């Protein structure tokens, strides 16, 4: 394959192709009056390099003292295997790789906040193919999970063998449905 290109572009191409060929000899060039003819055999063609693409996770909200999970997804145009990792964030956040396939991967972000973790936090997630990485941030909200409050029952009295009924009421400070 031959192409006529300006000298400055040819020099740049030589540097790029020399590092991305499968041949020890590399591409060759010949100068003819400020034009360069660049010759490269099909086996020396450069492979396009692309890093992984991490699909940004949705914000997560989790009540304190409980857990929440979200799947992570990433692709790699080169077909390289991808792994996920936590780059920063709260101690109750973990990131794992579930399926590190070639070119496509799934992972998981797991949140397990304690009762002291109410509030907001940010975590960092990376998808790596071993040579480059894609990163995203995750917004986390830990909400209170307080116990319901039973209203004080009224005093009751009755005789032996008699059924006494009373309606009990309670409220949940987090507005969760009670049963």
Sheet holding 83-88, edge to edge: 60-63, 133-143, 119-128, 83-88
Domains along the sequence of the chain with CATH: 2-44 (no CATH), 52-143 (2.60.40.10)
- pLDDT tens digits along 51-110: 899 999 999 999 999 999 999 999 998 899 999 999 999 999 999 999 988 889 999 999
In whole numbers, what is the pLDDT of the chain averaged over residues?
A: 80
**pTM strictly above 0.85:** no
Q: Is the pLDDT of residue 44 over 70?
A: no
Tell me the pLDDT band of 112, cut-offs 50, 70 and 90.
very high
Q: How far apart are CA 31 and CA 9, in angstroms?
A: 13
Band of the pLDDT at 158, cuts 50, 70, 90? confident
The position carrying tokens 């070119």 is 103
Q: By C-alpha distance, which of 65, 68, 70, 63 is closest to 136? A: 70
């Amino acid at each position: 394959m031959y192409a006529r290109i300006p000298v400055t572009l040819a020099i740049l191409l030589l540097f790029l192709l020399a590092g991305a060929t499968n041949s020890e000899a590399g591409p060759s060039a010949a100068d003819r009056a400020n034009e360069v003819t660049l010759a490269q055999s099909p086996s020396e063609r450069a492979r396009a390099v692309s890093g992984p693409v991490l699909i940004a996770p949705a914000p997560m909200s989790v009540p304190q003292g409980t857990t929440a999970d979200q799947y992570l997804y990433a692709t790699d145009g080169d077909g390289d295997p991808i792994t996920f990792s936590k780059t920063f964030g709260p101690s109750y956040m973990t990131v794992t790789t579930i399926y590190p396939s070639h070119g496509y991967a799934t992972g998981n972000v797991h949140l397990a906040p304690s009762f002291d973790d109410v509030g907001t936090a940010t975590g960092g997630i990376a998808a790596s193919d071993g040579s480059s990485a894609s990163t995203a941030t995750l917004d986390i909200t830990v909400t209170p999970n307080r116990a319901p409050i039973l209203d004080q029952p009224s005093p009751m009295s009755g005789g032996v063998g008699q059924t006494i009924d009373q309606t009990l009421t309670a409220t949940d400070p987090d507005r969760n449905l009670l049963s």
